[in-house]
Structure 1
Amino acid sequence: MTSLSRYADTAPYHHLGDSSDLNEIRSALASTGVVLEQWTADAILAPDASDADILSAYAGDIGRLKDIGGYRSCDVIRLTPDHPDRTMLRTKFLAEHVHDDDEVRFFVEGAGLFYIRHDAVVHALLCTAGDLIILPADTVHWFDTGAQPHFTAIRLFTTPEGWIARFTGDPIAQAIPLYEPQP
């Protein structure tokens, strides 16, 4: 279930509250410029659906986003507990960073935790299957897959290079609680 936890962005990083109400979450994120939507597939996907099957099932929404946001490419990323690069990817995503491009992710299955730092608050947004998140370019954030990642997401980009980060060097990501999914 989609949820939001909030923390002060200075030590001792006090916990400021939680919500799983989508309207409250959208309201809390409004000042950050982050968009949160929920989608449903145009087709039922098999557990072993190919990337092409996934992109086809969401073609209408992908097309709408491309038209609105100027996104020129999209792909599917999958991260599972047996992925050989899961530890390296988690470490990379856990470092606070910004992008020159919007970060657009739609969660087809599984979950991941986006941390958005804005106006002295860290918004820890748990995205789950059906969630679309759009972080505008230059949004300070990081992402946690958990130690045993499990998600499939569609990514959209305005540039052909795709995911390029500028890391802030701030160690805050190690001070806020990590994503530990409940079994």
Structure 2
Amino acid sequence: MSNLKIFRDGEPENPLLVVDSKAAMVVELAKAGIRYEQWEAGQELSASPSQEEVLAAYARDIDRLKREEGYQTVDVVSMQPDHPDKAVFREKFLDEHRHSEDEVRFFVEGQGLFTLHIGNQVYEVLCTKGDLLSVPANTPHWFDMGPNPRFVAIRLFNNPEGWVANFTGSDIAGRFSRLEN
């Protein structure tokens, strides 16, 4: 179940706000300049859909975002608990970092925990099936797919070559929750 927890950046054990309603999540995240939406497939997906099938099922929303935000490239990424490099991929984005462009993810299946550090607040956003989250360019954040990752996600880019993690050097991510799946 999707949820949002907001903390002061120095108080990871005491959330200021916990939100379980997707409608309320939209409102709270918008206050911080974060796009959060729910999408529904335009057609039924097979048990193991191809990238083309996934993109066709969500074409209406993908095309809308491309028009609104100028995204140029779209792909589908998936991760399963039996992936031999899952620990390496998990570790890659657990520390606070920024990207020079938006990080846009839509969860077709599964879940992931995005944590955003905005000003003196930390926003933990547990995304699940049907959730789109757009982390604005240069926003400090980290991502956890958990020790047993299971997700299929659509990614939108302005320039995939520019989507490089620029680590802040802060240890803040280690003080906040991890996804335990």
**What is the TM-score with the length of structure 2 in the denominator?**
0.94
Deviation by residue 1:18-50 (Cα, 9 ceiling, x = unmatched): 110123222221232110000000111011111
Query: For the Cα contact (< 8 Å) 1:13–1:175, is it kept in 2?
Result: no
Deviation by residue 1:60-106 (Cα, 9 ceiling, x = unmatched): 11111111111110111101111122111111111111111111111
Instruction: Tell me if 1:130 matches 2:130.
Output: yes
Cα offset for 1:164? 1.1
**Mapping of residues 13-162 of structure 1, within 5 Å:** 14-161=14-161
Query: For the Cα contact (< 8 Å) 2:100–2:162, is it kept in 1?
Result: no
Q: CA separation of 1:86/1:163 partners in 2, compared to 1, >3 Å: closer, same or farther?
A: farther
Cα offset for 1:11? 5.1
Give the 3-state SS of the residue equivalent to 1:48 in structure 2: coil
Cα offset for 1:17? 3.2
Give the RMSD, CA atoms, in angstroms.
1.4
Q: CA separation of 1:26/1:156 partners in 2, compared to 1, >3 Å: closer, same or farther?
A: same
Which residue is 1:172 aligned to? Answer: 172
- Matched length: 181
Which residue is 2:3 aligned to? Answer: 3
Deviation by residue 1:112-169 (Cα, 9 ceiling, x = unmatched): 0100111211110010100111111111111110110010000000014163111101
Give the 3-state SS of the residue equivalent to 2:40 in structure 1: coil
Give the 3-state SS of the residue equivalent to 1:161 in structure 2: helix
- Return the letter of the residue paired with 2:36: L
Gaps of 5+ in 2: none
Gaps of 5+ in 1: none
Distance 1:170 1:97 in 2: 9
**What is the TM-score with the length of structure 1 in the denominator?**
0.93
Distance 2:170 2:99 in 1: 15
Query: For the Cα contact (< 8 Å) 1:70–1:158, is it kept in 2?
Result: yes
Give the 3-state SS of the residue equivalent to 1:42 in structure 2: coil
Would you identify which runs of 4 or more consecutive aligned residues in structure 1 move more than 4 Å?
none
